[in-house]
């Protein structure tokens, strides 16, 4: 499974603007841009186990493709949504529980990198991860 393994954040694109659109304050945006995020992905058929390690927290998430689950951002913002597989790309639509607005996300392997794309209120950001 192409996503499997440990991935360390390498760089961000437009992430601070994205966090600003999400309503994250300046100090948290500065910390968030340097969160040292590491994710470990284990796919088994349509089931995924994700271990998320960052400066803020260490959590484990389990989800099944097409099945809605709850996920809280590090600042406590609660989302609900589901990942699906479109070709080789994971695609998700999450809804914020506090305001009903939609956050779209994708996860794909591009070359030797894992690229996560987030879109919220028309603001797109990418986070690039390398194996490690
Ligand atoms: C303000 C910072 C927002 C960061 C956006 C994170 C969006 C996360 C998408 C949902 C991830 C679900 C769990 C997972 O599959 O790892």
Which mutation among 38, 48, 79 tests ligand 1's pocket best, with the greatest number of atoms within 8 A of CB?
79
The mean pLDDT of the chain is 97
What is the tens place of the pLDDT at every residue in 45-101? 999 999 999 999 999 999 999 999 999 999 999 999 999 999 999 999 999 999 999
Strand order in 89-96's β-sheet? Answer: 58-64, 47-53, 38-44, 5-13, 123-131, 113-120, 102-110, 89-96, 78-86, 69-72
Fill in the DSSP letter of residue 16: H
User: How are beta strands 123-131 and 5-13 bridged, if at all?
Assistant: antiparallel
**Ligand 1 centroid – CA 73 distance (Å):** 7
What is the ipTM, given to two decimal places? 0.94
Residues lining ligand 1, judged by CB closer than 6 Å?
19, 22, 24, 32, 50, 61, 71, 73, 94, 103, 105, 118
Give phi and psi for 14, each to the nearest 5: 60, 25
Domain spans in the chain, listed from the N-terminal domain onward: 5-131
- pLDDT of 124 higher than 90: yes
CATH class, domain 5-131, is: mainly beta
């Amino acid at each position: 499974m192409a996503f499997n393994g440990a991935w360390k954040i390498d760089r961000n694109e437009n992430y601070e603007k994205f966090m600003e659109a999400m309503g994250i304050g300046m100090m948290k945006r500065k910390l968030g841009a340097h969160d040292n995020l590491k994710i470990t992905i284990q796919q088994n058929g349509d089931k995924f186990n994700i271990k998320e390690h960052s400066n803020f927290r260490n959590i484990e998430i389990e989800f099944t493709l097409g099945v809605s689950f709850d996920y809280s951002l590090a600042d406590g913002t609660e989302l609900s949504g589901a990942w699906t597989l479109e070709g080789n790309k994971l695609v998700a639509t999450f809804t914020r529980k506090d305001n009903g607005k939609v956050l779209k996300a994708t996860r794909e392997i591009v070359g030797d990198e894992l690229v996560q794309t987030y879109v919220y209120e028309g603001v797109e950001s990418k986070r690039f991860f390398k194996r490690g």
